[in-house]
Amino acid sequence: MPMHSTSPRPGWGAILFVSVLLAAALVLGLAHSGTPALPEGPRPAAAFSVERALVDLRQIARAPHATGTPANDAVRAFLVARLQALGLETHVQDGIGVMQRHSVAGKLHNIVARLPGRVPGPALLLAAHYDSAPTSFGAADDGASVAALLETVRALRTGPVLERDVVILITDGEEAGLLGARLFTAQHPLARQAGLVLNFEYRGNAGPLLMFETAAGNGPLVQRWLQTAPAPMGNSLMYEVYRRMPNGTDFSIFRDAGLHGLNFAAIGGSTDYHTALDRVDRLATGTWQRQGDTMLALARAFSQGPLVAAGPDRVYFDAPVIGAVSCPGAWAVPLALAAALLCVLAVVTGCRRAGLRAAAIFWSMPAFVVQVIVVAGACQALWWCVRWVHPQYKLMLQGDPYNASWYLAALALLGAALFLLLSTWLRRWLDAVELALGALACWTLAALATAVLLPGASFLFVWPGVFLSAAWLLAFLLPLNAQRSALLQAAALFPASLLVIPIVALVATALTLNLVAAPAVLGAMLLGLAGPALTLLARLPLVAAAAGVAGLAGGALTAGFDTDRPQPYSLYLALDANAGRSYWLSNDAALAPWVRSRMPGAVQREAPGVFGSTGPRLWVAPAAPQAIDAPVVTIVSDQVVGANRHVDLVLRSPRRAPKITLAVDGAPVLAASVDGQVLLAERQDRWRGALHGFGAAPIRLMLQLQPGQAFTLRVADVSYDLCAAPGMACPPTMLAQPFGASGTIQAVRSTVFQP
């Protein structure tokens, strides 16, 4: 038997050392991924101040202000006046922005302002969007960024004239499909003058400010950001993930247009995202101050001297105590090879000097993989059970319920307990040291794989591998007894945990409890490295399990809804203009009492045909006749030209609805255009489109179809003002669900075209 398997009872000193070290790593790691503290006291005129920015934000976030709404016009007028008062050349870029991939177009009004510099040349572009999601006040998303832009301009103007032009771009129609950014990059002359863009976003309203996206060739830019930004946070793992994802924010459009830059966002507080909870009083001011400090510092740095050139990508990350670190991307493979060499040396030395069994270490690897999968799967399954017990959590479409932190803590503790329990069971066949070295070998393989396939992510596996391999090698060479060796592992585990724990927390926030298996994989992998150090804490599995159960109880006790945690609902009013009938509709699985009171006689059934296929069964109830002006569809011409049928139409929303949706069923649409702009360039069998911000103006819609087929065109105009309708009185304990039809009034007209 290997000598490490029989260890004496650990002394209190050893237990204390390991406990304090691991607790410190946990506290530091979690604090690092939390909301930054707001510095006390007033800020000088040259600095960024959330107190000053708050005056503007209160105006911006007075009411929901989605593209095409009167409130959006009011916000724009306010911002233009503010930028002019700050002394900037300001104008509004009017035009149509189009996303052909989903046939979405918008009549938009981007705000563009220029702070002229001393030297002609490429400009620094600072960007955020002023439109909100339909029922959201848009205080964080993205009002806070817009107000921060104003405060940054004010602070910049307290100093000497800048060397470089700074262009402030406040886009419209971001929530409708990044339409304003598309319009700007496609048509605005300043888009060609821009040399670098800094874009600011929120997916939530709290947490650390993350630099989560940049473009290829980011090396020099990343170095400059790390040198300039106060407490920079972000890592190249996020960069690797985001560059593989479809368009997410305005930044993707700038990047695709060939612009270089950095994209910042805070992602904590996702329960408020895109809902009426995105209010000024709920915005984390510490996050906002950090955003402003970063924006101002980078604006000052990048508006002086030569613009940063492109250069090879860098690998970068940040950790508490350690700070922000970066190295050339080309080092990823050599570093991973060095980690692998160290790991092999540790294993070989362990086998030679400590009597470890090579075969046992080998078998520890699949055992570790299975252990990680079981723990991650159990965490995910447990969350599904919680959702089954508390079906109201399914109403939170963002993923996390309001009391998510109870469950995150509970799942982390129960997952850890299960992992340790499985380790105890595996120790029937495999020694604790062999198990730990198997886990270390898996980390090292992950380091090699990521270095080749996903270099930006390699730091996450390389450095913990290096720390632990070095500690094991030292322990075998000296040699140390089992307990001292475990203490050395704990010491090596400390920096590894500082690196990994904030990323586990970040992944959990980003993916929410609905994908809790992902952070659980990483957390379980970390526990694998900790093996022998944790065996010193004999009662840990029991304590963790008990605390985890208490966490579940805490979740159950805080599962209810109230004014601070309003219950999301789906409810909308829809008019069938053809039949002159109105309906209440809801996608909810079960109706909340208030929703039920709005729709007496509701039954679950297919939606009336005029609303098209709305997927699964809805709650449907007849509504009292509504005085809603339905959209007007006028056929200008319908003829066969060449091989195709050309249908030329004029649409109009007499009630100035901010959004119009279009659907064609029965025949494929080959091409479509709106007011002369191409909306669809490729054939689509069940064509769907959307138009934003056209007001009451006539809209020219041209469709091309195959001749000889009958089809139906469904035009719905959508307003976001259900709760403002007479007699609605939406209670403060209820909240319109984001991302869908809830809170809207729709009027649908369907037109049948004969072959």
User: Closest approach of Cβ 84 to Zn ion, in Å?
Assistant: 25
Q: Which two tokens stand for residue 206?
A: 């709290």
Which CB atom, from 76 or from 314, has the smaller least distance to Zn ion? 76
User: Closest approach of Cβ 291 to Zn ion, in Å?
Assistant: 13
Report the alpha-carbon distance of residue 498 to residue 322 in Å, rounded: 8
User: Closest approach of Cβ 166 to Zn ion, in Å?
Assistant: 22
Q: Cα(first)–Cα(last) distance of the chain, in Å?
A: 84
Which CB atom, from 148 or from 408, has the smaller least distance to Zn ion? 148
Q: Where are the alpha helices (DSSP H) in 61-199?
A: 70-85, 145-156, 179-187, 189-193
Which CB atom, from 201 or from 293, has the smaller least distance to Zn ion? 201
| Cβ count within 10 A of residue 390 | 16
Report the alpha-carbon distance of residue 406 to residue 136 in Å, rounded: 26
Which CB atom, from 64 or from 219, has the smaller least distance to Zn ion? 64
User: Closest approach of Cβ 357 to Zn ion, in Å?
Assistant: 56
Which CB atom, from 139 or from 166, has the smaller least distance to Zn ion? 139
User: Closest approach of Cβ 734 to Zn ion, in Å?
Assistant: 24
| b/e burial code for range 600-609 (CB count within 10 A of at least 16 → b) | eebeeeebbe
Q: Which two tokens stand for residue 409?
A: 């803590």
User: Closest approach of Cβ 719 to Zn ion, in Å?
Assistant: 21
User: Closest approach of Cβ 414 to Zn ion, in Å?
Assistant: 35
Which CB atom, from 201 or from 431, has the smaller least distance to Zn ion? 201
DSSP letter (8 states) at residue 230 = S
Which CB atom, from 131 or from 240, has the smaller least distance to Zn ion? 131
Which CB atom, from 148 or from 701, has the smaller least distance to Zn ion? 148
User: Closest approach of Cβ 273 to Zn ion, in Å?
Assistant: 9
Which CB atom, from 199 or from 423, has the smaller least distance to Zn ion? 199
Residue keyed to tokens 């398997």? 5
Q: Find all residues with CB under 8 Å of 261, minimum gap 6, and list them.
A: 125, 196, 197, 198, 199, 214, 215, 221, 251, 254, 255
Which CB atom, from 246 or from 616, has the smaller least distance to Zn ion? 246
Which CB atom, from 201 or from 240, has the smaller least distance to Zn ion? 201
Identify whether the C-beta of residue 741 lies closer than 8 Å to the C-beta of residue 590. no
User: Closest approach of Cβ 206 to Zn ion, in Å?
Assistant: 15
**Omega before residue 73 within 30° of 0, cis:** no
For the chain, what's the residue count?
755
Q: Using only the alpha carbons of the chain, give its radius of gyration.
A: 29
Which CB atom, from 130 or from 463, has the smaller least distance to Zn ion? 130
Helix, strand and coil percent figures for the chain, each rounded to 5? 45, 20, 30
Which CB atom, from 142 or from 272, has the smaller least distance to Zn ion? 142
User: Closest approach of Cβ 145 to Zn ion, in Å?
Assistant: 8
Which CB atom, from 56 or from 142, has the smaller least distance to Zn ion? 142
Which CB atom, from 140 or from 745, has the smaller least distance to Zn ion? 140
User: Closest approach of Cβ 644 to Zn ion, in Å?
Assistant: 39
User: Closest approach of Cβ 204 to Zn ion, in Å?
Assistant: 10
Q: Find all residues with CB under 8 Å of 435, minimum gap 6, and list them.
A: 364, 367, 368, 423, 426, 427, 528, 531
Catalogue the E-assigned strands of 590-728.
603-605, 618-623, 632-641, 644-652, 659-665, 669-674, 677-680, 688-692, 699-705, 711-719
Q: Which two tokens stand for residue 250?
A: 């305005």
Element (H, E) at 268: none
Identify whether the C-beta of residue 472 lies closer than 8 Å to the C-beta of residue 437. yes
Report the alpha-carbon distance of residue 170 to residue 128 in Å, rounded: 5
Please, what sign has the CA dihedral across residues 100, 102, 108, 114?
negative
Residue keyed to tokens 């997410």? 248
Which CB atom, from 108 or from 537, has the smaller least distance to Zn ion? 108
Q: Which two tokens stand for residue 385?
A: 């059970």
Which CB atom, from 130 or from 368, has the smaller least distance to Zn ion? 130
Report the alpha-carbon distance of residue 372 to residue 366 in Å, rounded: 10
User: Closest approach of Cβ 370 to Zn ion, in Å?
Assistant: 41
User: Closest approach of Cβ 201 to Zn ion, in Å?
Assistant: 5
Q: Where are the alpha helices (DSSP H) in 70-169?
A: 70-85, 145-156
Q: 42, exposed or middle or buried, with CB in 10 Å at 0-12, 13-18, 19+?
A: exposed
Q: Please report, for residues 320, 360, 499, 501, 519, the alpha-carbon distance to residue 504 in angstroms, rounded to integers and kept in the order given.
A: 14, 29, 9, 5, 5
51 in the Ramachandran plot: left (φ > 0), alpha (ψ -120 to 50) or beta? alpha
User: Closest approach of Cβ 280 to Zn ion, in Å?
Assistant: 16
Report the alpha-carbon distance of residue 229 to residue 250 in Å, rounded: 21
User: Closest approach of Cβ 133 to Zn ion, in Å?
Assistant: 8
Instruction: List interacting residues with Zn ion (CB under 5 A).
Output: 141-142, 201
Report the alpha-carbon distance of residue 634 to residue 206 in Å, rounded: 48
User: Closest approach of Cβ 642 to Zn ion, in Å?
Assistant: 43
Report the alpha-carbon distance of residue 514 to residue 407 in Å, rounded: 11
Q: Where are the alpha helices (DSSP H) in 536-656?
A: 540-557, 593-598
Report the alpha-carbon distance of residue 586 to residue 588 in Å, rounded: 6
